Amino acid sequence: MKKLTEHWNGIYKKTEDENLGWYEEGFSQTLKILNLIPTWKESKMFVSGVGTSGLVDELLQSKADLVLNDLSSEAIEKLKLKYMDMGNRIEWLCQDISEPLPTDLKEIDIWIDRAVLHFLTDDVSIGQYFKNVTTSLNVGGYAIFAEFSKKGATKCAGLDVRRYDIQDLKEYLPSFECIAEEEYTFINPKGDTRPYIYALFSKIK
Ligand SMILES: C[S@@+](CC[C@H](N)C(=O)[O-])C[C@H]1O[C@@H](n2cnc3c(N)ncnc32)[C@H](O)[C@@H]1O
């Protein structure tokens, strides 16, 4: 795991945000899905593998409270510096998302994952990831996943990825119902196409 942390820290140390392969502006697709949730602006949100995403700016324009997670201390430190005035609206969690979450981290209303889950490639890690999603979310809470689709690239950031379709996600989320799903092609900063699947689930039990 140390190797993986170093890998991501190395990327954030040497790369300007605008040159990251997953850098986006506007966040139109994530906001489109988020806006299907009537109460999102007053919720407690967990952002898995947040990196240095500018999505945080958008989320902080609402009244939502955030838990920001990443494996990379480098990414977390950059964000901490940027949002040092946000006080207790942000909780920080620098850990591998495929490890159990702290037991006091519960009562999350919305889980957001863009391009993080697909880096987990073994069944144990994926199983624990979905256990984290399920145990931390309130009944009635939501989870948004944006992952490389089956038409997508097989590698990102020099690492293998596991690609998803909606059926795969449904199988990992038996206590959720799927509210929306959509294919979306992201054009990355180099102009390459990156087909994603976006999905919104709600926890029903
Ligand atoms: C492709 S980037 C996406 C960043 C951000 N979600 C976005 O959309 O801009 C993947 C992020 O996941 C983080 N990451 C990778 N594996 C992780 C893991 N096992 N646990 C937590 N974070 C992880 C990386 O450090 C990186 O910030």
Q: Number of structural domains, the chain?
A: 1
CATH number of the domain within which 42 lies: 3.40.50.150
| Residue 25 backbone dihedrals phi, psi, to 5 degrees | -120, 150
47 Cα to the center of ligand 1, angstroms = 10
Q: Quote the pTM value.
A: 0.97
For residue 91, CA distances in Å to 44, 64, 185 come to 10, 12, 31
Amino acid letter, residue 48: S
78 Cα to the center of ligand 1, angstroms = 14
Half-sphere exposure of 205 (CA within 13 A, CB side): 2
pLDDT in tens, 16-60: 999 999 999 999 999 999 999 999 999 999 999 999 999 999 999
Beta bridge partners of 197: 147, 183
CA 157 to ligand 1: nearest atom: 1
Q: Are 201 and 179 in contact (CB under 8 A)?
A: yes
- Alpha-carbon dihedral sign for residues 80, 59, 24, 198: positive
What pLDDT does 1 receive? 65
Rounded Cα distance between 69 and 51, Å, is 8
Rounded Cα distance between 141 and 203, Å, is 5
Structural domain of 58:
2-203
187 Cα to the center of ligand 1, angstroms = 18
Task: Name the token pair of 77.
Answer: 């430190």
pLDDT in tens, 153-179: 999 999 999 999 999 999 999 999 999
Give, using CA atoms, the residue closest to atom 18 of ligand 1.
96
Confidence label for 94 from pLDDT (cuts 50, 70 and 90) = very high
